[in-house]
Structure 1
Amino acid sequence: MKIKRYIAASMRLALAEVRQEQGPEAVILSSRRTEEGIEVIAAVDYDETLIADTGRRREAAAAPTPVVAEPVAPKPAAAAVRPVREAARPVVVPPPPGADLSYQDMRRELQDMRRLLEGGLANLAWSGTRAAEPLKARVLEELTALDITPDVAMKIAASTPRDTRFADPARIPLALLAKSLPLIEDTTCLRGGVAAVVGPTGVGKTTTIAKLAARWCVSNAADDLALVSTDGFRIGAREQLRTYARILGVPMHAADGAADLARVLERLRGKKLVLIDTAGFGPRDPGLAEQLEVLKTGAAHARYFLALPAQGEAHALREAATAFAGLAPAACILTKIDEAASLGAALSTAVRHGLPIAYLCNGQRVPEDLHAAHRRRIWLVKVASCLKQNVSPHRDESSLARHFGGVQHHA
């Protein structure tokens, strides 16, 4: 059996190519619309006995059960009509076990062959990229080694110059990554306002609130600051924040529900800065929607920061960014950088979702381990590069081809 994939602008042109190359005996196995055009998979010299055998089995399964009449002497007219009536009556017979095994086996075989074909095409496309755009291929390789996700790596690599004047082209991937990071200068600790830190459970929200509060107290009066906790779920959460408030000499208030939160914020209107510590909920937690509604209703004018753990996995960070998107976070805070084995997933999430990075946290010290992100751009890229050194330098060419060869696999 010979199978080939065709891409054309329309179905008519695709069928014309099939007839021209494989002749009128070719069989269309599948067709679909893709970004490239109409894709047609055609085969010639296929095994017809499989199809014929499957058809015969289906016919046998659908045939009515023969009726055996008692040995009586029916009237001639009735005997002539009886078989017709029996044949006209619909009989539903379940197919015998294994009736479609040949068809299923052939389907699986075709799927395997298709994967092999697409894998070969992806390898060819990746080889073509290496030959035509070697610098871009180098960028994609290096970003992949940093655990930057494929979609973000392609977005960053799109800015790769055709030629470079860099004495060391190996620096180009890191330079492009640094340029693409959405770092901003946040003025919360300078101008004040109402700010809340949100995020999943265990990402360091309470500690981050304490760091922001301490940073404010370094250059402002503690009397102008107040802390609010809406976390009535985690045992000891409010006690931890109350301890920080006592050390800093600032008031701490608890709020339960949207109405209570609104009343507390109204009483604190005279404060220049109010920091809100929120309860942690996972992206799939049923209570998350209620918590988000409490914040949107009770603190409608607050500035929200999404805390993302730097050591988190890519899919978990993607879910968190999507789950808290309803609050329209002004920026994100990367926490636990000191615990991360790779920064690729966290940086990819920020770039993909357009989340500006306001602060970086790389330890438990308050406030020494809180850093303004816009002043640490080069440092952040260097940390990501240093963490890469702990990973095996082996490059999986098949993985690179699969991600960047321009061919997608289908089940």
Structure 2
Amino acid sequence: MSDSQFSKPLIYMLIGAAIILALSLGVRHAFGLYLVPMSDEFGWGHNVFSLAIAMQNLIWGAVQPFTGALADKYGSRLVVATGGLLYVIGLLMMAVSSTGILLNISAGLILGLALSATSFPILLSAIGRAAPPEKRSLAMGIASAAGSFGQFIMLPTTLLLLQNIGWSAALVVSAILIALIMPLAAMLKAPTYAAPNAITTTQAALSFKDILIIAKNHKPFWFLALGFLVCGFQVVFIGIHLPGYLIDHGFNATTGTVFLALVGLFNVVGTYTAGWLGGKYSKPHLLMGLYGLRGIAIIAFLLLPLSTWTVYAFGVVMGLLWLSTVPLTNGIVANMFGVKYLSMLSGIVFFTHQVGSFFGGWLGGVNHDMSGNYNVIWMLSIALSILGVIVHFWVNEEQVVHD
């Protein structure tokens, strides 16, 4: 890719957004490693930690449309910097959480609010506004891919911290790293893209309320959102519970960490490739393929003999499919409704993702505490892959609202 494809302000924004996503999602991606040590120290079942992370995802999704609306109105820089501050506070409180209530306040409420301001919907929407339409999907894919590299880096880093200084001190170190988000937010200042030959029009701009009414009545928008629910369920269930699943089957914590690190590493390839392909082919058709392949990968993982190599192979495949949905889904929303209210509309779609995340995280813990295994949730994940394929038959990229 040639840098000449993008303006200098957009390149600057891409760098800032990528580092912010790497920090924000990298720290979050490692939360599954805390389930066993915190549960063991305080005598919790898996359900206590799972509920806190599930609440984090639900709160994150519930406030995302409002955080997005604030970013649309006041700019991404202020929202992201505020989210960085909340993230630091939440991690420091989580480091001293010795009860389920404290864990739900810190890891659930505060970190849920922080993530709504420092993750994909806000940052990719800022990039979407600054990028030319024909390069929008690619730009989102680049930021997603570079941000995914942080997930790869943070997994072994977090494991080393857990093994050498314990889970509480590891969270304090993570808080110090997250503090870098606040100054990095200043890099999100590329102007909204305007075509060189754009013709000024006197047509009245649609209001926030007008856009909401149009979105409410646009069925493909809601089918897209339903597909994103599938994504949330699968990635949070696997991200939070697979390390514990492997420990149940006699593997050590390192195996689960390497799995998640491989997911993060190959997610770099997957998200960039998805963004690139999204600029050339039908995004709904690509999403159908992604969800179908996820289902096949899960079936293969469960049917093959469980070994270190099958675990790592599953990590590679899931990494390629992990967040490849994000640039495609956000790109479809931008194509449907334009970019003026992209943060808010992406936030609405993302809310359904987080509803899925809530149930994937929480039901995984409930299933494990009740039966000692995750069989029911694995089967549900496969069924949801089929749903993810089906709903995208009714999704298209027809432009409903012009930029």
Q: TM-score of the superposition, structure 1-length normalised? A: 0.22
Higher relative contact order (CA 8 A, sep 6+): 2
| Greater strand share, structure number | 1
Q: Which of these two proteins has the greater Rg computed from alpha carbons?
A: 1
| Greater helix share, structure number | 2
